[in-house]
Amino acid sequence: MKVKRFKGIIAKIMAFLCLFSMGLAGLAVETHAADATLLNTYGRTYGYSGTCINLYQLNDANQLKILKKHFNSITLENEMKPDALLGNSAKLISVSEAKSKGYYIPDGYSESKVPQLNFSTIDKVMKICSQNGLGMRAHTLVWHSQTPSWFFRSNYSGNSGFVNQKTMDARLEMYVKTVMNHVYSNQYGGCVYAWDVANEVIHAKNSGWESVYGNNRTNASYVKKAFKYAYETLEYYKLTNSVKLFYNDYNTYQEVQNITTLVNYINKDKKICAGVGMQTHLGVNNPNVNTYIKALKSFLNSGFEVQITELDIKNSSDSSMASYAYDLFTEINKIKKNGGKITGITWWGLSDQTTWIKDSKPLLFSSPGQPKQAYNKVIQAYTKVIGEPGSAQSQTQPQPQPQPGNGQNNGQNNGQSDKKDDKKDDKKDNNSGQSSSGKTNNNATANIPDGWYYLKNTLSQKYLSVKNDTAKKVTNVQIEKGTGSKGQKWYVQNKGNGYITLKSALGDFMLDVASGEDKDGANIQIYDAYGHDAQQFTVKTTKTDGVYTIVTKTSNGKRALDVYNHETSAGTNVCQWTFSGKPNQEWIFEPTQNGSSKNDSHKSDSSKKDTDKKDTDKKDTDKKDTDKKDTEKKDSSKKTVDVSYSVNSWGSGYTVSIKLKNNTNKTVKDWSLKVKKSKVNIGDGWNMKFKTSGDYYVITPVDWNKSIEKGKSIEIGFIGNGKIDNSVKFEVTY
């Protein structure tokens, strides 16, 4: 009996230890899950973890901080579509004026006028993306649903007949190349790594494109031409290896053969379409996971690259969505692990608060930063198939580096006037060294725009300087107090593939690793500007925004510019040393106006305030000029909150984009809009809720845009059915 009792006690102890160890194991799993984000899992493995966003959200520091935790890519939902750039009605300018603005005017363009394009939102978004290490999918160039009808008609007039194919060919080339030129000649355009060149062609209805070119969706000539023009632009900017062109469509699991036929037609003469953007608007009941996965495999087996786009999942409950998402991503991760060329996953919204789907909660977050069951299951599907989350080092992809060639006219001038103003703004941005969060991805490749800079070491607070300002090759480089001399000024030029050169303002010399040696202690000097490997460097981010390390190409990124022996005194030599990430290897790029000897970056605080004030005044002037040119219809019945709107109609439907600007002297809260049902027929909306009340629709905010701060604006919109009345009045209350 004693033996049996002893054995029983031992058994109970072993059972307790087993349960205890299982509890510890469970705790470890929970800890790993807590550390996991979409960025260090899916972003790490697929290259891009993306979300749908708008400018208003990007300007919200809290939402931007949350976005950067989980995503390294954004797609604009509506603000880069043709109607957003072209407007509700044509604003025509002369061909000569268009050329002066940098528009691409093809040789076959026979018309005297060109529609003016509005790039203001795109420019702001690209700047935010570049400054926050975010990539951008450009969505979209060719789409029937949100391209104004006047774009296809004679004299760009909505009441005229449709133009012939030759005229439309020239308009298409003008539009595609002008938009892409604007992006890649802009100093922030390197954030755009992919384009949805054509969208939903297989499902086109009441299409202006088909009115001109005919109903031939699987061999649509205008689609092939659009890809050709887009690819020629990438060739011009030497981006064919770093930027990809996609055909994007929905219900792809039902249209596998048609989409495959269309992409093969586009690529018949030369592969210019990289593959398919699979819009992934799913529901827990349709399609089933096997149907979707079968379509995905079919596109991959056809040799297409796939980016999963516009992902959301309609559901009846959080648990049903979680179960479906787990099964779906388990299979997707298996394909990726086995070498499937899936290069990005984009969820269509930051949270359920901003989904476009009415009366559903189809996203991973209930509100920004608040994960649901489905989020945990998506992470679990990753760790089950791929493994544990990766490190921060691989979370941010190198951004494309446009370098104009000689094959395209007009484009090289586009965006230059904006660039000058942006550099003034950047001086303030880059000198701060901190974002709203104070953190950034550590050791990811950074994008420093071309231009003149001082390089300040964070440990010593002294500047990278050519010894004695001597304009002679093999002169050492050291740290010195800031004087603004030519020997402290360096011109950053992006060479592509993440490399830069640093040219001295002293003359035709570049920063150089002596003899191109790959060893610790190799001297850093200036030498004749050849731009070879010894003169190429990669800028890496650190844990602090605005602070960088500079690693050398000769060491394959293993060694960095280093102030010798952690010294801080003036005259200390700068050399190459194994990367440590310590402050003697950290540098701040302070923009300066040019390579002259004027001491423009080391002004007193009062001078800097004056400069900042001038910059602010200039921004205000530019904004007033933009507002003056804006011809959107305005509701003048309210003097305190302006309501402006634009309409894009395609005959059987339309979209209405609405902007509310708060011109009061205080924050406006809990606003609402009323519009007569006899004027519009709302089917669905974005960034808003709506209900009917008698003869009116009542539009109300979602959680994140309930308040409009003084001087700020928000943007909402809806999709309507049928035809819209010529005059619409929105009544705002708050």
Q: Kindly state the tokens that stand for 266.
A: 């586009």
Which residue type sits at 41? T
Task: Please report how the helices 289-301 and 318-337 are oriented relative to each other, as an axis angle in degrees rounded to 10.
Answer: 30
C-alpha distances (whole Å) from 585 to each of 197, 449, 501, 549, 562 are: 42, 21, 18, 6, 5
Q: Kindly state the tokens that stand for 638.
A: 């309210």
Short-list 144, 142, 205, CA closest to 179 = 142
Short-list 491, 533, 494, 496, CA closest to 508 = 491
Is 30 noted as a catalytic residue in this protein? no
Q: Is 415 exposed, middle or buried (0-12, 13-18, 19+ CB in 10 A)?
A: buried
Q: Kindly state the tokens that stand for 467.
A: 């010894």
Q: Is 30 exposed, middle or buried (0-12, 13-18, 19+ CB in 10 A)?
A: exposed
Beta strands in 236-304 (DSSP E): 244-249, 275-283
Helix H segments across 564-639? 605-629
What residues have CB less than 8 Å from 448, skipping those under 6 apart?
492, 494, 500, 539, 548, 589
Phi–psi pair at 460, nearest 5 degrees: -90, -20
CA dist., res. 465 & res. 481, Å (int): 9
Angle (nearest 5°) at CA 516 between 511 and 521: 85
CB atoms under 10 Å from CB of 97, counted, come to 13
Q: Kindly state the tokens that stand for 122.
A: 């795109």
Report the number of secondary-structure helices (H) and strands (E) in the chain.
Answer: 17, 35
Q: Kindly state the tokens that stand for 615.
A: 């910059």
Q: What is the DSSP letter of 479?
A: E
Q: What is the DSSP letter of 286?
A: B
Which residue type sits at 382? Y
Answer for the pair 708, 671: CB distance below 8 angstroms, yes or no.
yes
Which residue type sits at 19? L
**Facing residues of 286 across strands?**
283
Q: Kindly state the tokens that stand for 234.
A: 């990438």
Q: b/e map of 622-648 (b: 16 or more CB within 10 Å)?
A: eeeeeeeeeebbebeebeebbbbbbbb
Q: How would you classify residue 118: left for phi > 0, otherwise alpha for psi between -120 and 50, otherwise beta?
A: beta
Short-list 133, 139, 167, 140, CA closest to 151 = 167
Catalytic residue among 310, 586, 590, 715: 310
The C-alpha torsion from 663 through 666 and 669 to 674, rounded to 10°, is: -30
CA dist., res. 455 & res. 505, Å (int): 13
Catalytic residue among 77, 79, 173, 200: 200
What residues have CB less than 8 Å from 193, skipping those under 6 apart?
48, 73, 135, 136, 137, 242, 243, 244, 397, 399, 400
Q: Kindly state the tokens that stand for 723.
A: 């035809």
CA dist., res. 388 & res. 394, Å (int): 14
Phi–psi pair at 444, nearest 5 degrees: -90, 155
CA dist., res. 380 & res. 366, Å (int): 19
CA dist., res. 8 & res. 729, Å (int): 82
SS3 content of the chain, % helix, strand, coil (to 5): 35, 25, 35
Is 480 noted as a catalytic residue in this protein? no
Tokens 């060109």 correspond to what residue?
114
CA-only gyration radius of the chain, Å: 28
Catalytic residues: 200, 310
